[in-house]
Amino acid sequence: MPGGGVARNFAWSPDSSRIAYFAVQDTVGVLEFYSATPDGAVNDKLNGALLVPGGGVVGNNLAWSPDSRRIAYRADQDTDGVFELYSATPDGAVNDKLNGALVTGGDVAGNFAWSPDSSRIAYVADQDTVGVLELYSATPDGAVNDKLNGALVTGGDVADNFAWSPDSRRIAYRADQDTDGVFELYSATPDGAVNGKLNGAPVTDGDVSGFAWSPR
């Protein structure tokens, strides 16, 4: 490691074949993303080329897909100060951007999660409208990207807590989708083709505060 180098925030793949970590390993002051085999014999950089001065990886969240074939992370890898969502294979040979094109000033927020069957990853971003957080899902290579929430009322947002159903057929989320300031519970299919409200009519000043899927 260079002077001032440090490793931090690490996680094992579900199949225990790799451990991923963030580190200032190759360039002073530049945080990047790596994975290694359990004995350290193999060590690979996972992030793509940091194409802009000041680019780096966000070192506080990563997510292995349940099948251990991909790992997701956030970085301003392509545009300095614009944080986007990427996934890489465990050896770094493949690196793909998962979010759709961001509106000027947009970013991917810090919460993202793989479906249990590893077919999709969901994330929150102001991808289409600056300052309006919405829920999206993408395939592991980013080839397909869909908005999951319904049309939002003026002032509406999707909250950053969402949950995949154990069978990966639905994703639940909170949003003030229909009434500004009233957070209700919705679920959508992974492609966003079906979207429905789950709660009954709330009382005045009522909200949905928490939720959980039943076990499979």
Q: Is residue 199's pLDDT more than 90?
A: yes
What's the rounded mean pLDDT across residues 94-105?
Answer: 97
Question: What is residue 8's predicted lDDT score, i.e. its pLDDT?
Answer: 75
Q: How confident is the model at residue 216 (pLDDT cuts 50, 70, 90)?
A: confident
Strand ranges in 133-188 using DSSP code E only, listed in sequence order: 134-138, 145-147, 158-164, 171-175, 184-188
Q: Say if residues 142 and 133 touch (Cβ distance below 8 Å).
A: no
Question: What is residue 96's predicted lDDT score, i.e. its pLDDT?
Answer: 97
Q: Say if residues 134 and 162 touch (Cβ distance below 8 Å).
A: no
Q: How confident is the model at residue 51 (pLDDT cuts 50, 70, 90)?
A: low
Question: What is residue 5's predicted lDDT score, i.e. its pLDDT?
Answer: 64
Q: Is residue 212's pLDDT more than 90?
A: yes
Q: Exposed, middle or buried, 122 (CB in 10 Å: 0-12/13-18/19+)?
A: buried
Question: What is residue 49's predicted lDDT score, i.e. its pLDDT?
Answer: 79
CB atoms within 10 A of CB 105: 11
Question: What is residue 1's predicted lDDT score, i.e. its pLDDT?
Answer: 63
What's the rounded mean pLDDT across residues 175-185?
Answer: 96
Q: How confident is the model at residue 9 (pLDDT cuts 50, 70, 90)?
A: confident
Residues 122-176: pLDDT tens digits?
999 999 999 999 999 999 999 999 999 999 999 999 998 999 999 999 999 999 9
Average pLDDT score over the chain: 93
Q: How confident is the model at residue 65 (pLDDT cuts 50, 70, 90)?
A: very high
User: Given strand 145-147, what is the order of strands in its sheet?
Assistant: 108-114, 121-125, 134-138, 145-147
Q: How confident is the model at residue 36 (pLDDT cuts 50, 70, 90)?
A: very high
